[in-house]
Amino acid sequence: MAANPSPLPSFKIILGSSSVARRHILSEMGYQFEVMTADIDEKSIRRANPDELVMVLAEAKADAIISRIKSEGYVERIDAPTLLITSDIVVVHEGIIREKPSSKEEAHQFLKGYSGGHVSTVGSVLVTNLKTGRRYGGLDKAEVYFHDIPDEIIENLIDEGVVFNVAGGLLLEHPLTLPFVEAVVGTTDSVMGLAKALTEKLIREALLPDS
């Protein structure tokens, strides 16, 4: 019989992301948190390997936020353990890394390419314990298979504009997209930018490193 996991000490969470989906996922997990954004130039950070890219971006976001809160004297005021959660996700289609589309033409090309095919997502989660300075990170991957997506649906998604806010323009739970999702291999939360099981594991490691 498996032993019950050790209870976690009292702690605070900062979510280093402006993503509505990530806020929703973390709330679903039962956590209260404050939000801080990194405001980094993600396009200036390049790696050919998607696993490396998402981890380097999560680290860069953490570095930017920590630098800001240090300058504001926030770290010195920390009493309870405080965890900073940063993350990143890219879509990989036919071996090519796809981030947020930068134009209508690019968004159309992305979405048309997914029609009747499949894409992979690679997501990173990095949990930094601001009291100890130690970091705990990991990756989660998923695949999404699509039925044929009509051109009219693609154009409506682009006109709505939300495709420009997500990696690869990939909207899994949008009412226009959902009917054309054939299957997800992996978890929906991973595709949406924050893998719950991985995040929970890293939170536990950051608070109980010796458990």
How distant, in Å, are the alpha carbons of 18, 46, 86, 142, 166 from that of 185?
26, 27, 24, 6, 19
CB burial of 142-178 (b: ≥16 within 10 Å; e: otherwise) equals bebebeebeeebbeebbeeeebeebbbbbbbeeebbe
How distant, in Å, are the alpha carbons of 11, 86, 116 from that of 59?
21, 7, 35
* Residue 51: active-site member: no
d(CA 191, CA 193): 5
**Coil, strand or helix: which one is 165?**
helix
Q: Which of 88, 148, 189, 210 is catalytic?
A: 88
Question: At which residue do the structure tokens 């909207």 appear?
Answer: 171
Contacts of residue 127, Cβ cutoff 8 Å, sequence gap at least 6: 83, 84, 85, 135, 136, 137, 199, 202, 203, 205, 206
Catalytic residues: 88
